[in-house]
């Protein structure tokens, strides 16, 4: 009798983690490596947030917290939803988790029965399908096109909805493409969902504050309030506040869903780290003036990377509206021969050859359900990005 669960055969390791480890291993051999594979801001957590954590420790805020989250943080989250998104949620509608991943996983855990379907536009964040599979559901992958800015169209959404559809995941701005839906684009999608009352909406708004130019962020329930009774709006402090390691995600939704997630979290991890929760109270309630400054830095990096990658042979790089990723196509490179003599048959071959030849680590697009592409995280310095893009240009220029 096999020891490990059959469920493990349905999933695979996170591709971003695998590539990041490959880069670390190569660096350990003495190679000069530039890793553009990690979705993590290079900025530090702001000092006022760190200070709030220190003060919480000194106050002795080190006991078990409520499973749903400490009341001051849930109040701060409810106020954030009202202030920034125009959403009328009470603290009782809010749950805090150990990162956004736990929020997403528990939502699927409490709602999916075997064979229930979850619509996931591709390219998608690598963990979505595997979370669905681990909880007995069936991912329904809906391709998007570079010509549409890697955004789901209402026609494609309508075709994908079936009697067993339980959820659709909307991630805007997107990891990995950086694509963000305008209010009108979201309205076209929510108009479809209004006609299908059995479909719930899971809105992953983790990159909300990282949008560029004149783009205005909106979330589905803001656009179509009638969806509130069947929507979970998820966010966190990881990206905008450079708090990835603090592991705080949160969501608001209908009472029956939040109550169910509370119950399973009580049997899993209980409440998230109290110190990180008190730091998050300060993040949401404290000064927000650093956000536009950092947003401007990310926008400058985006513009540099898009410009330089579009100067690389065999690469086509759309200009995304948000997040800190670009998702260039390398369709023209497939079938060509790398300097090593190996033929590039897939986008995974492309990123493998790129890493070995130049020391630049990126993630292959097929890991995100759409290729041949690769994802670049530009959450690093302009100098490193310029160096990396020059190496990519040299690599693609040498393909024959």
The CATH fold of domain 6-44+290-397 = 3.90.1150
pLDDT digit string, tens, across residues 231-275:
999 999 999 999 999 999 999 999 999 999 999 999 999 999 999
Neighbouring C-alpha atoms within 13 Å toward the C-beta of 251: 29
pLDDT tens digits in sequence order for the chain, 400 residues long: 789 988 888 887 777 777 778 888 888 888 889 999 888 899 999 999 999 999 999 999 999 999 999 999 999 999 999 999 999 999 999 999 999 999 999 999 999 999 999 999 999 999 999 999 999 999 999 999 999 999 999 999 999 999 999 999 999 999 999 999 999 999 999 999 999 999 999 999 999 999 999 999 999 999 999 999 999 999 999 999 999 999 999 999 999 999 999 999 999 999 999 999 999 999 999 999 999 999 999 999 999 999 999 999 999 999 999 999 999 999 999 999 999 999 999 999 999 999 999 999 999 999 999 999 999 999 999 999 999 999 999 999 999 9
pLDDT at position 6, please?
85
Judge: domain 47-285, CATH 3.10.20.30.
Answer: no
pLDDT at position 44, please?
97
pLDDT at position 5, please?
87
Token pair, residue 97, equals 């988790």
pLDDT at position 10, please?
81
Three-class DSSP labels, the chain: CCCCCHHHHHCCCCHHHHHHHHHHHHHHCCCCCEECCCCCCCCCCCHHHHHHHHHHHHCCCCCCCCCCCCHHHHHHHHHHHHHHHCCCCCHHHEEEECCHHHHHHHHHHHHCCCCCEEEEEECCCCHHHHHHHHCCCEEEEEECCHHHCCCCCHHHHHHHCCCCEEEEEEECCCCCCCCCCCHHHHHHHHHHHHCCCCCEEEEECCCCCCECCCCCCCCHHHHCHHHHHHEEEEEECCCCCCCHHHCCEEEECCHHHHHHHHHHHHHHCCCCCHHHHHHHHHHHHCCCCHHHHHHHHHHHHHHHHHHHHHCCCCCECCCCCECCEECCECHHHCCCECCCCCECCCHHHHHHHHHHHHCEECEEHHHHCCCCEEEEECCCCHHHHHHHHHHHHHHHHCCC
pLDDT at position 201, please?
98
Count Cβ neighbours within 10 Å for each residue of 177-211 and write b for 16 or more, e otherwise: bbbbbbeebbebbbebbeeeeebbbbbbbbbbbbb
pLDDT at position 27, please?
82
Beta bridge partners of 375: 363
User: Structural domain boundaries of the chain?
Assistant: 6-44+290-397, 47-285
pLDDT at position 386, please?
98
pTM for this predicted structure: 0.95
pLDDT at position 357, please?
95
pLDDT at position 9, please?
83
pLDDT at position 110, please?
98
């Amino acid at each position: 009798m096999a020891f490990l669960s059959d469920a493990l055969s349905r999933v695979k390791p996170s591709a971003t983690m695998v590539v990041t480890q490959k880069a670390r291993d190569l660096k350990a051999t003495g190679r000069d490596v530039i890793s553009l594979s990690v979705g993590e801001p290079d900025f530090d957590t702001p000092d006022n947030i760190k200070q709030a954590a220190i003060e919480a420790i000194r106050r002795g805020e080190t006991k078990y917290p409520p499973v749903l989250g400490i009341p001051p943080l849930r109040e701060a989250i409810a106020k954030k939803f009202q202030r920034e998104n125009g959403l009328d949620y009470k603290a009782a509608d809010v749950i805090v988790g150990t990162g956004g991943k736990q929020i997403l996983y528990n939502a699927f855990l409490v709602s999916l029965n075997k064979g229930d379907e979850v619509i996931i536009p591709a390219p998608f964040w690598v963990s979505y399908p595997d979370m669905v599979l681990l909880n007995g559901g069936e991912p329904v992958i809906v391709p998007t096109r570079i010509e549409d800015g890697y955004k789901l169209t209402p026609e494609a959404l309508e075709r994908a909805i079936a009697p067993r559809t339980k959820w659709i995941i909307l991630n805007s701005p997107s990891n990995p493409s950086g694509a963000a839906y305008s209010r009108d684009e979201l309205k076209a999608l929510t108009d479809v969902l209004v006609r299908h009352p059995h479909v719930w909406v899971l809105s992953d708004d983790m990159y909300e504050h990282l949008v560029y130019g004149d783009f205005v962020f909106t979330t589905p329930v803001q656009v179509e309030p009638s969806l509130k009774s069947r929507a979970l709006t998820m966010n966190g402090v990881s990206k905008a506040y450079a708090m990835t390691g603090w592991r705080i995600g949160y969501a608001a939704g209908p009472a029956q869903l939040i109550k169910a997630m509370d119950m399973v979290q009580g049997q899993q991890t209980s409440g998230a780290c109290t110190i990180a929760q008190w730091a998050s109270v300060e993040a949401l309630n404290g000064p927000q003036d650093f956000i536009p400054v950092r947003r401007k830095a990310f926008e400058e990096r985006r513009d540099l990377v898009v410009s330089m990658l579009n100067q690389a042979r065999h690469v086509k790089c759309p200009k995304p509206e948000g997040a800190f990723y670009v998702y260039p196509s390398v369709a023209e490179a497939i079938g060509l021969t790398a300097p090593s003599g190996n033929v590039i048959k897939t986008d995974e071959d492309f990123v493998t050859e790129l890493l070995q030849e130049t020391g630049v680590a990126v993630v292959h697009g097929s890991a995100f359900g759409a290729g041949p592409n690769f994802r670049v995280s530009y959450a690093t310095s302009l100098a490193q990005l310029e160096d990396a893009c020059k190496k990519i240009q040299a690599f693609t220029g040498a393909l024959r």
